[in-house]
Structure 1
Amino acid sequence: MLSVALSAVNLVPELRSTNVDIYYVVVAGLIYLIWLASLVLAWRGSRGGILLAGLIAFVEFGVIAAGHFTTSPFDIHVYSLREGLWVAALLMAILPVCALTAMAAIVSWSHPTGRIRNPRMIPLLVVSVIGAILVLLNATDSLRRVDFGTANPEDGTFAAVASVILWLVGAFWIARVRRVGSILIALGTFIVWYSFITLHVVSGTSISAIASNSGPVWAGIALAMAALAAASFIAALALVVEPLVRRQSDTRLPSGP
């Protein structure tokens, strides 16, 4: 539902900036209504709804990525200068929710009405969601300062989005396939904390400079993002290594008489 809502809101600045015309908005609005209906059907276990919801999410991801995360007249930097930073945050949020919708469709195809509950992974999921929000907020502030190191704003923001997608997909997948989910979390969080160290510790803009330029709140967001990413990275590695260590320990146990 969130993917439909965010995509629908994005139609307003798209039309206002003349990136699209009224006919595009009408057609897109109808597609979003179909998307919403397909999500409801998917929730009820309909394979047709699952297929349609995942397909529209995939197409929406491609349209947003191609239209605003590549060098173009309406790339995310130019777009944010015209319509405001909130539009950049909106675009960066649309891609992860569309990716999660498509992933959920893939998983639900084999388990249309299945539910997987693993309460032990809920804290990791909560941390991942909070961390993802912090990454997007930090990327929004970096876009305002045009502070992505040697990368251009389109590549820098897309890298942030990619890390969020890996982090969230891993967090949602970990209850189903523990090792795969842990590896995805490790990859996503590695991008986050490594970029932080490269851009704000080793070189680039220091945290004190961010505090001076953007304010203490944004500096705190950057620090909290890096801390959660590092903690999640360590936790993910521990979840990967623990079964291997336990298996080795079991094989070394002496056999009974």
Structure 2
Amino acid sequence: METMKQNKRAWDNKVENGSVYTKAVSKEIIEKSKLGEWQITVTTERFVPRNWFPGSIEGLKVLCLASGGGQQGPILAAAGAEVTVFDLSIKQLEQDVMVAKRDGLKLRTIQGDMSDLHVLEDETFDLIVHPVSNVFVEDVRPVWKEAARVLKDKGVMIAGFTNPLLFIFDDEEERKGQLSVNHSIPFSTIGGLSEEEIVEYLKSNETIEFGHTLEDQIQGQIDAGFMIAGFYEDDFGGNRILDKYIKTFVATRAIKEKVE
């Protein structure tokens, strides 16, 4: 619960400070989306291939999971989908509501924890869009299980997540251009801190982040009932030194396979 409270507060603060992941899309992008010229990201730089989506998303029931901020949800709603945006941060959800009101869109917003979708019924959605966000939960497997539960049979989940390699390096040193291996995977922002340091960290407006194993990220989807049907990698962006050596974000397209 402390993690969830901290991350909710931190993301509300990011909205107030205008973080790039909280900036709603423009009216121009929405107008293009209404004409069928739409594209979204679930990582940092690369757009999701259009062939990962059905030929038409008109009337498709879409869950944008941990995806507030006025970005993916409004674009897909403008393209004709029936969109629900689920996010921990109320202020992030307010960005979606703002775009919907501004551009005459219909979408639903729900505030909650991505690991617990009990407010959503089984087999409700045709598509789940899950941008890089499970970095903010300690255990990613419940996220995959809940996603599978609320998806219809043969429903698709498009998810972005972090290559755990990113977390083995000291973040401050990496930003200075130096690669210093200081951490192991699984990783937690507060994992190596003393009780006193954790108390001080919780007073900040910083998120608590977790580096999950690739087994939990990929095999975790398979164990939840998904077949991985698409995969690509993406750069961190922003001139980070790691981009010279390896791509640090991953996107998967997974299809729910109903177990008889």
Q: TM-score, normalised by structure 1?
A: 0.23
Higher helix share: 1
- The higher radius of gyration belongs to 1
Tell me which protein shows more strand as a share of its residues. 2
Could you state the TM-score of these two structures normalised by the residue count of structure 2? Answer: 0.23
